[in-house]
Structure 1
């Protein structure tokens, strides 16, 4: 392929390639769990594998490979691949008996610790049969240099059908994706130099000048903790599922956002877990919270910034903790929203530079960390999805820890459920599933702490603990 077909990756996208090492794979993944309908052919899973492998004319980013040359190590570039070995990229796997959540979790944990081959397009898909209760799973991973969570969820959702009989396809050969990527992003009107300068100056001042309890948290406010020790490349994955309606009702009654409730649920689980181990810092843990910076209609790549919020893990009372989290997260988001969108992008790049430098060098494991962990909330499909008649039961994000960052917690809302994925450095977090289970308890504690008579009524199953 001619070199003229190549394009440089934006700075943020390229940074994920520079951050990668054997101890810190920089891919993100998703785990989809499907139930096989009654009357489905016994060859259903094999048919899906065959259809996935038969795909041609792959869409970006699945058709892109890295350019290898003297300058591309410092300034990565990608080019459409001349040929793609689909049998390599689409794997057919079967779980050993009894095909339970433990066996699935062991497999996903192993697969997520294996770095992607940089000589090929940076993704793989594993179709996994043999899951108990007449189910199968699909685990897909793709390098973070090629997409962020919002875009990844969109690609997965677009590939599935809205009805059991509806058409579905592979994300890498999705006609709806092709149409979407042809859209032109609606960028805001250009800013003059004076407005750029004023907005950027105000943003920097908001970080440097601290004002009382509602001060904007900044990088390196985080205390040292066991979550920020050196990591290896081995991964451990755990999941938890709760009803979205419960989260929404707590948010409504407490007059906070659903994302605040999610942060509080994670905070309560982390506080209990670290107290169990007698390693809870006196100062509150600080989370990096990704926020979308996409223009309307913009597709592909990474378009997310980072704000920092206190998890108030030093506060025992769950409702007081939730209110403190709301104050901190609101200050951070209002600070970012005070800037025009183009300035927000530059501002987040500037604030991310020292964080990236620390993560690349690994100093976050030996010095004060830029944050204790990352907690992200990605909106997903609001209606049930299907693949060749198989119902998508759960959609879990499998994200990435970093150097000196042993834990990442990410959620995806899907069809009335809140699906939480915990991705940890295996040697640092031997009891990750226990931590995942504590999130269900933390939500129940918040419900119990609501004013008497206002606690939301649970519908159906209180939570489902998928040990993946």
Structure 2
């Protein structure tokens, strides 16, 4: 038995039929590398073997009586791989459009909370423009059990560095499951609730000090961007349960080259490209606001947290994407400065602040509040908190093999929220940056139009850097010539 942290449990309370809190992934595989050839039965059996001793794959929720405390994880004694790994085939012609329609539909289906909160769909018959069939694995895992980094780590239990090699990570054998009784759960809940006021008192002083420091940073112009000041767009309202998905690839070396030439970071470049893509997308629709879009960027605190329990070890920072700046180099330069200030500001915040305050999320009250917020469409009536979520997840720099099949695409996809119906996640892998976009279908029906602007914006930024580098030596030669005076 393992109690969910307040932050983990919050993703359960946030969930409604329209606001689904699972993390998805699209993994495109080349089955020709599987030593004995592909069959669904073999792949399903191999997945079963690799996840059998991994707690995140084999535990399920157990509610506390009367909702007095956060739920607990218990081992599913009836774990059955056939309830989690399913088989589908794409309709003809089995191309990109058919795949996106299918995974968008699957992303809009909730997970069954009576079982471990994950599932995989093995999709056969994908052409992908390569001339040979590919296998696609569409994954869903609830945010209550993974964050971006831990989700990427779980992939290591299913992948290897060679087709016939063992997985990158193996799990320790699990101890026999402890199945708590109702009285034990009730007793733990009472103790937890009695000690919460003391915890709240301990949090007040550092939280007050943080507010004071934030005001000082704001006056000095070094604070991160503030929420609730974002401009409203067509994807900032109440969402439905329908999802639209689109994917694109960037060349990682192009991103790194721009980083080196401009003295910025990979994250700066990715966010600047995202800002350019969104600017272009909104401008073509006559929707470009005067003020810059504001993004929430999840940040892993695994290296600095003092907490050992809980699946989600994240915080977040806010940053403007420079959609109000036409020049790509200026946008990147401003992005780098804003990100530096945001990171410095974020480092001043306790790594456990979000997790500590999340412990006070009351199961019943929180859930009712979220449903009332959605039913009253309040996301359309108050100032926009943020426009979208953008995550940058570092992936392995080498080829991976999923149960023997080479991974060609590895694109994670995060959840969307009322008020922010767009999520962009990028993940690097083997020389590529895979861009995954998921949105509420009613808010942004043509997500492919947005994602295809990412490679175009990267090319524009690369050309701008090259043009600047070409012009700079010429200006220097002219300056030296003027300083030397006329030729005798």
TM range (shorter): 0.7 to 0.9
Shift in Å, 1:211: 2.7
Tell me, yes or no, if the aligned pair for 1:154 and 1:380 is still in contact at 8 Å. Answer: no
Which stretch shows the higher mean deviation, 247-256 or 140-149? 247-256
Decide which of 34, 41, 49 is 2:44's aligned counterpart. Answer: 49
Decide which of 258, 267, 270 is 1:259's aligned counterpart. Answer: 267
Q: Report what 1:142 is aligned to.
A: 141
Shift in Å, 1:98: 2.0
1:10 equivalenced with 2:10 (yes/no): no
Q: Report what 1:334 is aligned to.
A: 344
The structure having more radius of gyration, on CA atoms, is: 2
Shift in Å, 1:33: 0.7
Decide which of 235, 239, 245 is 1:231's aligned counterpart. Answer: 239
What residue ranges of structure 1 are gaps of 5+ in the alignment?
Answer: 169-173, 182-194, 456-468
Q: Which has the larger share of helix?
A: 2
Computed over aligned residues only, the root mean square deviation of the Cα atoms, in angstroms, reads 3.1
Q: Report what 2:479 is aligned to.
A: none
Q: Report what 2:185 is aligned to.
A: none
For the residues of structure 1 that align with 2:107 and 2:91, how far apart are their CA atoms? 18
What residue ranges of structure 2 are gaps of 5+ in the alignment?
Answer: 176-201, 361-365, 471-488
Q: Report what 2:172 is aligned to.
A: 178
Which stretch shows the higher mean deviation, 134-143 or 364-373? 364-373
Decide which of 357, 362, 384 is 2:399's aligned counterpart. Answer: 384
Decide which of 322, 343, 346 is 1:312's aligned counterpart. Answer: 322
Which stretch shows the higher mean deviation, 106-115 or 32-41? 32-41
Shift in Å, 1:70: 3.0
Distance 1:305 1:100, change over 3 A: same
Q: Report what 2:281 is aligned to.
A: 273
Q: How many aligned residue pairs are there?
A: 431
Distance 1:381 1:56, change over 3 A: closer
TM-score (ref. length: structure 1): 0.84
For the residues of structure 2 that align with 1:234 and 1:33, how far apart are their CA atoms? 23
Deviations 1:179-221 (A, max 9, x none): 899xxxxxxxxxxxxx988865553234334235543212212
Deviations 1:115-143 (A, max 9, x none): 11111111111111111222101111110
Tell me, yes or no, if the aligned pair for 2:389 and 2:422 is still in contact at 8 Å. Answer: yes
Deviations 1:17-66 (A, max 9, x none): 11100011100011111112279655434311233346674421111211
Distance 1:223 1:103, change over 3 A: same
Shift in Å, 1:333: 0.8
Tell me, yes or no, if the aligned pair for 2:7 and 2:354 is still in contact at 8 Å. Answer: no
Distance 1:324 1:136, change over 3 A: same
Tell me, yes or no, if the aligned pair for 1:225 and 1:372 is still in contact at 8 Å. Answer: yes
Shift in Å, 1:448: 1.6
Q: Report what 1:187 is aligned to.
A: none
Deviations 1:354-392 (A, max 9, x none): x99996624333211211100010111111011343211
Which stretch shows the higher mean deviation, 46-55 or 133-142? 46-55
1:102-141 maps to which residues of 2 (within 5 A)?
102-132=97-127, 133-141=132-140
